Structure 1
Amino acid sequence: MSLIDLRSDTVTRPTPGMRQAMSQAEVGDDVYGEDPSVRALEEDVAARLGKAAALFVPSGTMGNQLALMSQTRRGDEVVVGRQAHLAWYESGAGAALSGVQFVVAGDRGWFDAGELTQAIKPVAYHLPRTSLVALENTHNASGGRVFPRAAVEAVAETARKHGLALHLDGARLWHAAAATGLSPSALCEPFDTVSVCFSKGLGAPVGSALVGPTDLIVACRRLRKMLGGGMRQAGILAVAASYALRHHLERLAEDHERARSLAEVLASAPGVRLDPSCVETNIVVFELAHEGAASERDGTASERAARFVRLARERGVLVSQLSATQLRVVTHLDVSAEQVTRAGQILSDALREVAT
């Protein structure tokens, strides 16, 4: 039985065309700055995002951490949204590597200017110094939601007024661009630094990039080496990312449409908390709970969620369990429209079974 893997858009495998491009990549030693394929990718990404320079890195986590290391001091405080990847899903790297602590603004994954203002510490010698604001667009834990453009602009204005740096975790920025019709450069314009991923949604096997001012990217190149991210003949990987940018951006809208259709099916199942109208890109997050359950920690709902994941796997569909009762499915390059339809039926049947 062939599994339909909806756990993440990171599970994609290189397409035949991408593999062919990788096999023909022109390479050099990137630590010496001599890999032409890496240089070409960095120049392309910097231009696409409207920044002066870019740095190819092995992962989005490294890109985010380089942004922190280069724009904060130990003991500083960084403002993030609820369940921001930067603070929640990077193994405590912000504290371990940069010595920063995080304060959460808002309760939706994104926040507005007023909530940012409340989160900024007054200037006082006994308080941590707020130095950076980090946004995530799209926001993974909130179900791939797009950070509202008006809120971004207001947050940026507030951050500038307080002298704070602005970083965008744009791991799925490409999806935000596809969903809004705005160019990637327009979405990145307010930010000092932006990290983007090539292995989420675009289908490359490895790699992310950090973009920003030239002097900051030069500093980050040294920090990348410090973290073990200096790669040698990395052009094989860079070519995969370049191929993805040329061939896979325009199809992202297909993933959005498939995610919405899947959400409609899941929302109709008993005991599911899900508003399909909130599905904006390729991620569907939903919860299992009894009617009138007072808490997402309800033990019975937790047992049902675990059973649902097992049943789905046994019947050929892989899903992610984010918490005791919260689940996630993600559409991507390797899942066809027919597979999404089949997965919807399997998951709907499993949900009805665990609800009885």
Structure 2
Amino acid sequence: MRDFIDLRSDTVTKPTQKMREAMMNAIVGDDCYGEDPTVNELEALAAEKMGKESAMLVPTGTMGNTSALMTHVKHGDAVILEPDCHIYYYERGNVSAIAGALPILVSGEGGCPDPDIVEDMLGRNGNRPKITLICLENTHNRACGRTIPVEKMKVIYDISRKFNVPIHLDGARIFNASIALNIDVKEIAKYADSVMFCLSKGLGAPIGSLLTGTAEFINEARKARKRLGGAMRQAGVIASAGIVALKEMTERLKEDHENAKLLADGLAKIDKVKDGLIRGETNMVMINTKIVGMKAVDLASELNKRNIKVSIYGPYTIRLVTHKDVNRDDILYAISAFDDIF
């Protein structure tokens, strides 16, 4: 029987052999004292990659985002968020429950808040809670891995400077955005005051995310991380895999994008699927299953019978994500499975 092809997410990636060896041989210290040399190396590398002064290792992207929220805002402040963004949709209400802020939801195209509405909101705070942060997500998870073009990020950044309101970027997949936009990742990060990115998605590390920003900001964020229970001891074991990820795994994301395009192109040739196909720019493909005449759970079940795992994104949407542990042959098999179903 064929092994399962796991297209649920790029979070299912396994660490490379080189990562495993680096973890086994990592030089470690106590990171709570700032004495883990491998963590220090990773944080310096992450800051350099993003063009920021400093960086902080956290176990998860959610903790990175929450630490940023806690550092940027005060209880009773408001935060501008896009309604489908990860911070609002998936992070268990941390923006309110932990950071104590009111979400102000601003819709827009491709998962990016409409700049005109953002400017209007900032210009008429009035008696409402004071808006003290704008959050963006690039690439955008629930928008099928869409990127926010740097031109649009700059527009929102310029608006934020006008009102002296910082921007936090959830850049969990910022390296995917960099590849898709064909620009250095710094060119994206420069339009945000703080940036969080993940090591454990397409980059293939087993655990870890980085929060980056000014030295002053990161010093304060370390206090937030402590409150969340995220300060670690001999974390060099984790950081060592992250160093390999940042040095060796970013450029290969092109393969994931190519495989996602191969998948979308193949599905587009299936008459009953093509009208429900939602293409992304990076490593994601979605299908509106209502258009193809099935509930998402039923299509996922049929694919599971054929040893393919996908994510269910509501009653009538499934998502498929390419990553380093899925190859071209796997994609061709997945296309044939859809053809068999329809």
TM range (shorter): over 0.9
Per-residue CA shift, 1:257-277, capped at 9, x if unaligned?
10011112223331554456x
**Which of the residues 336, 339, 342 maps onto 1:348?**
339
CA shift at 1:32, angstroms?
1.1
Q: What is the CA–CA distance in structure 2 between the aligned matches of 1:70 and 1:211, rounded to whole Å?
A: 12
The equivalences for 1:61-140 within 5 A come to 61-108=62-109, 109-120=111-122, 122-124=124-126, 126-140=127-141
Per the alignment, in what secondary structure is the counterpart of residue 120 of structure 1?
helix
On the 8 A contact 1:145/1:281 being kept in 2, the answer is yes
Matched residue type, 2:230 = G
Instruction: Pick closer, same or farther for the CA change 1:74–1:348 going to 2, 3 Å.
Output: farther
Per the alignment, in what secondary structure is the counterpart of residue 10 of structure 2?
coil
**Which of the residues 312, 318, 334 maps onto 1:321?**
312
Q: What is the CA–CA distance in structure 1 between the aligned matches of 2:83 and 2:285, rounded to whole Å?
A: 17
Provide the residue aligned with 2:220 in structure 1.
Answer: 219
Unmatched segments (≥5 aa) in structure 1:
292-300
CA shift at 1:165, angstroms?
0.9
The equivalences for 1:1-356 within 5 A come to 1=1, 2-108=3-109, 109-120=111-122, 122-124=124-126, 126-269=127-270, 270-271=272-273, 273-274=275-276, 278-290=279-291, 301=293, 304-350=295-341, 352=342
Matched residue type, 1:7 = R
On the 8 A contact 1:81/1:104 being kept in 2, the answer is yes
**Range that drifts further, 99-108 or 138-147:** 99-108
Q: What is the CA–CA distance in structure 2 between the aligned matches of 1:69 and 1:213, rounded to whole Å?
A: 15
Instruction: Pick closer, same or farther for the CA change 1:285–1:121 going to 2, 3 Å.
Output: farther
On the 8 A contact 1:312/1:346 being kept in 2, the answer is yes
On the 8 A contact 2:86/2:141 being kept in 1, the answer is yes
CA shift at 1:246, angstroms?
1.4
**Range that drifts further, 219-228 or 201-210:** 219-228
Q: What is the CA–CA distance in structure 2 between the aligned matches of 1:268 and 1:175, rounded to whole Å?
A: 26
Unmatched segments (≥5 aa) in structure 2:
none
Per the alignment, in what secondary structure is the counterpart of residue 56 of structure 1?
strand
Q: What is the CA–CA distance in structure 1 between the aligned matches of 2:253 and 2:136, rounded to whole Å?
A: 22
Per-residue CA shift, 1:260-303, capped at 9, x if unaligned?
11112223331554456x42100112211247xxxxxxxxx5x5
Matched residue type, 2:112 = W
Counting aligned pairs with the same residue, the percent is 39
Matched residue type, 2:143 = S
Q: What is the CA–CA distance in structure 2 between the aligned matches of 1:349 and 1:76, rounded to whole Å?
A: 53
Matched residue type, 1:113 = P
Q: What is the CA–CA distance in structure 2 between the aligned matches of 1:52 and 1:214, rounded to whole Å?
A: 6
On the 8 A contact 1:105/1:119 being kept in 2, the answer is no
Q: What is the CA–CA distance in structure 1 between the aligned matches of 2:310 and 2:168, rounded to whole Å?
A: 30
On the 8 A contact 1:272/1:287 being kept in 2, the answer is no
Q: What is the CA–CA distance in structure 2 between the aligned matches of 1:205 and 1:141, rounded to whole Å?
A: 23
Provide the residue aligned with 1:295 in structure 2.
Answer: none
**Range that drifts further, 311-320 or 105-114:** 105-114
CA shift at 1:44, angstroms?
0.4
**Cα RMSD between the aligned structures?**
1.5
Per-residue CA shift, 1:232-275, capped at 9, x if unaligned?
11101100011111111111111001001111222333155445
Q: What is the CA–CA distance in structure 1 between the aligned matches of 2:16 and 2:35, rounded to whole Å?
A: 27
Per the alignment, in what secondary structure is the counterpart of residue 196 of structure 2?
strand
Instruction: Pick closer, same or farther for the CA change 1:271–1:183 going to 2, 3 Å.
Output: closer
Q: What is the CA–CA distance in structure 2 between the aligned matches of 1:92 and 1:273, rounded to whole Å?
A: 35
On the 8 A contact 1:104/1:119 being kept in 2, the answer is no
On the 8 A contact 1:82/1:110 being kept in 2, the answer is no
Matched residue type, 1:116 = V
Q: What is the CA–CA distance in structure 1 between the aligned matches of 2:286 and 2:116, rounded to whole Å?
A: 27
CA shift at 1:304, angstroms?
2.9
Question: What TM-score, normalized to structure 2?
Answer: 0.95
CA shift at 1:115, angstroms?
2.6
Q: What is the CA–CA distance in structure 1 between the aligned matches of 2:333 and 2:83, rounded to whole Å?
A: 33
Number of aligned positions between the proteins: 339
Instruction: Pick closer, same or farther for the CA change 1:104–1:349 going to 2, 3 Å.
Output: farther
Per-residue CA shift, 1:46-71, capped at 9, x if unaligned?
01100000000000001101111001
Q: What is the CA–CA distance in structure 1 between the aligned matches of 2:267 and 2:96, rounded to whole Å?
A: 38
Per-residue CA shift, 1:125-156, capped at 9, x if unaligned?
x3111111111000010000010221110011
Q: What is the CA–CA distance in structure 1 between the aligned matches of 2:277 and 2:291, rounded to whole Å?
A: 16
**Range that drifts further, 203-212 or 68-77:** 68-77
